Amino acid sequence: MRLVILAAACLLALVTATPALASGAPVAKEDAGDLTELELPMLVAPVTVNGRLYHYAYMRILLKAKDSATADIARDKVPFILDAMLRETHRATITANNDPGQIDGKGLEKRLFDAANATIGAGSFVSLTFRDTIQTDDPASNQAAAEAAAEEAAAAEFAAQTAKKPAPSAHH
CATH class (in words) of the domain with range 2-139: alpha beta
Asked whether 111 and 84 are in contact (CB, 8 A), the reply is no
Domain boundaries of the chain, sorted by first residue: 2-139
Asked whether 57 and 95 are in contact (CB, 8 A), the reply is no
**Does 95 have pLDDT greater than 70?**
yes
More confident residue, 57 or 11: 57
With a threshold of 0.85, does the pTM exceed it?
Answer: no
pLDDT of 18-43, one tens digit each?
444 444 444 444 445 689 999 999 99
Residue 91: predicted pLDDT:
94
